[in-house]
Structure 1
C-alpha cells in the first residue's frame, strides 16, 4: 500500500533520538513523504522536554523543504483512568496526539488493567491515536479496545520499528492479529516509523507489507493520502489548517 504520511517521528528533543526537525524533514522528502508528524515524547518519559516545548510548537513552519509538518506529541498513558501527560495549555498548539504505554512511566500490570487504561484513554477525547499496541508487556483485550477505538474515531497505529522485531520483542504476530481484527471492525489505521534517527523517517515498508498481507482497504488507512489524513483530523474535531487547503 502506498503511504505518504509518517505519523510518529522523534527528534533529539526526546532525549534518546539523534536528529533535528530539519534533518527529519529532509529525509521525509527524500523518502517520498508528503507530510509527517513530529511527535517527541511527553514529559513523563525520562529525558523528555518540559511541556513548554509542546506549547511552543505554534512557532513551527507548516512546510520544511516542501514537506508538510504536523505538530504533535507522543504522550504517555499514566494510569488506568486514561490520563495522559499533555499539559492543558499545550493542546491548542498541537494537531496530533498519540498515546502509548511506556515501561518507565506505566509499569506493566495485568490484562484487565491495560484494557481499562486504553479504553479510558480513548473515551477521554484527548488522543487521536494509540501507539505501538503490539507490545506483549502490555497485553489487553483486543476486541474491547478496537471496538471502542472504532466507536470514538481513534486511530490504531501500525509501527514500523515494532515490526523489525528487535524492539518490543514478541510484537510482530500481535500486530498482524490487531490489524486483522481492526480491519473487521472498521477501525482507522495510522502508520508510524517511530523514527529515532532521520534516515528512518518515512520508512514504512514493513507496515505497508502488513497492511497488504492482511488486506486492509485504503479507505481505513488515514495515511494513504494527505487528504485522508486531514479529513481524519477534521473528523476528530480539529480546526482546519489553512496552509494545507491545497493538499
Structure 2
C-alpha cells in the first residue's frame, strides 16, 4: 500500500483551489496515507506563495489529522544555470524542495540546456526531488539526468498528473519510460506523486502506478510505501 504523497498544492499555490493545509491533511488521512508533503509553488508562479508564507511554515505543526506533514516548496528553475526562485535563508527552514520547470518562468531550451539546468538545480542542498521532468516541451537526456541524480542523492518523480489523459504536458508516456529506464540503470529511487492541486487527487497514483507496473520497476526503488526512508532521504 502506498503511504506517501510528497507533491501537493494548497490555496497558497494560487491555482483556483480553496483548500487549506488542514483540508489536505484530513483528506490524506481519509485516503490512508501516513505522510503528506505540502509543496506550494514558489513565488515565481503568478499568484503563488509569498516568501512570508514559506517562512511561516517553519512553525507549522508536524502532525495534523493523525498524519505526519512535511512542508516544502515546488521551486521554479528560473534559468539554464539552475537558479531557483526562493532565498536560501527561507529554504533552510523548509523540509525539502522540488525543482521543476514551468513555461512562464523558463522558456524551453534544447536538450543540452534543459538537462544542465536540472543538474545545476540538483546541486542546491535544499533540492531533494526533481519534478515532472517528463514534460515534452522540455527535452532532456535521461541517462545524464539520472546519473546526476544518483551522484547528488536526488529522488526522481513519476508525476501522475503528467500521465493523466487530462494532463497538459503532452503525451509523457515515452519520456516516463526513458526516465524509469535511466533510474533503473543508475539505481535511483522514485516517488509517485499526485501533484494534486487541492484535495481532489491526493493519494491518486492511478497512471503512475500503471507505468511502474508496466515497466516492472523494482519495488525496492519505489519509496511510496517507505515513509521512514522518504523522511531520511529528504533530510527531515
TM bucket (normalised to shorter chain) is: over 0.9
User: How far apart are 1:17 and its partner, in Å?
Assistant: 4.1
User: How far apart are 1:88 and its partner, in Å?
Assistant: 1.7
The two structures, once aligned, show a CA RMSD in angstroms of 1.3
User: 1:42·1:86 contact (CA, 8 Å) conserved in 2?
Assistant: yes
User: How far apart are 1:59 and its partner, in Å?
Assistant: 2.1
1:223 and 1:97 map into 2 onto residues whose CA distance is 17
Corresponding residue for residue 52 of structure 1:
52
SS of 1:116's partner is helix
Corresponding residue for residue 196 of structure 1:
197
SS of 1:26's partner is helix
Change (3 A) 1:126 1:231: closer
User: How far apart are 1:202 and its partner, in Å?
Assistant: 0.9
Structure 1 residue ranges, 4+ long, deviating more than 3 angstroms after superposition: none
1:164 and 1:96 map into 2 onto residues whose CA distance is 26
User: 1:218·1:224 contact (CA, 8 Å) conserved in 2?
Assistant: no
Corresponding residue for residue 217 of structure 2:
216
Which is richer in strand?
Answer: 2
Give the number of equivalent residue pairs.
234
- List alignment gaps of at least 5 residues for structure 2: none
Matched, 1:185 2:200: no
TM-score under structure 2 length normalisation: 0.94
TM-score under structure 1 length normalisation: 0.90
1:225 and 1:182 map into 2 onto residues whose CA distance is 18
2:166 and 2:201 map into 1 onto residues whose CA distance is 15
Corresponding residue for residue 4 of structure 2:
5
Corresponding residue for residue 124 of structure 2:
124
2:32 and 2:62 map into 1 onto residues whose CA distance is 17
2:94 and 2:15 map into 1 onto residues whose CA distance is 22
Corresponding residue for residue 139 of structure 1:
139
User: 1:188·1:222 contact (CA, 8 Å) conserved in 2?
Assistant: yes
User: How far apart are 1:50 and its partner, in Å?
Assistant: 1.3
Change (3 A) 1:53 1:230: same
User: How far apart are 1:195 and its partner, in Å?
Assistant: 0.3
- List alignment gaps of at least 5 residues for structure 1: 241-247
1:154 and 1:121 map into 2 onto residues whose CA distance is 10
Corresponding residue for residue 88 of structure 1:
88
User: 2:41·2:49 contact (CA, 8 Å) conserved in 1?
Assistant: yes
User: 2:55·2:93 contact (CA, 8 Å) conserved in 1?
Assistant: yes
Spell out, residue by residue over 1:45-72, the C-alpha distance to the aligned partner (whole angstroms, 9 max, x if none). 1111211111110221111110110011
SS of 1:198's partner is coil
User: 1:37·1:96 contact (CA, 8 Å) conserved in 2?
Assistant: no
Corresponding residue for residue 16 of structure 1:
15
SS of 1:8's partner is strand
Corresponding residue for residue 113 of structure 1:
113
1:88 and 1:124 map into 2 onto residues whose CA distance is 9
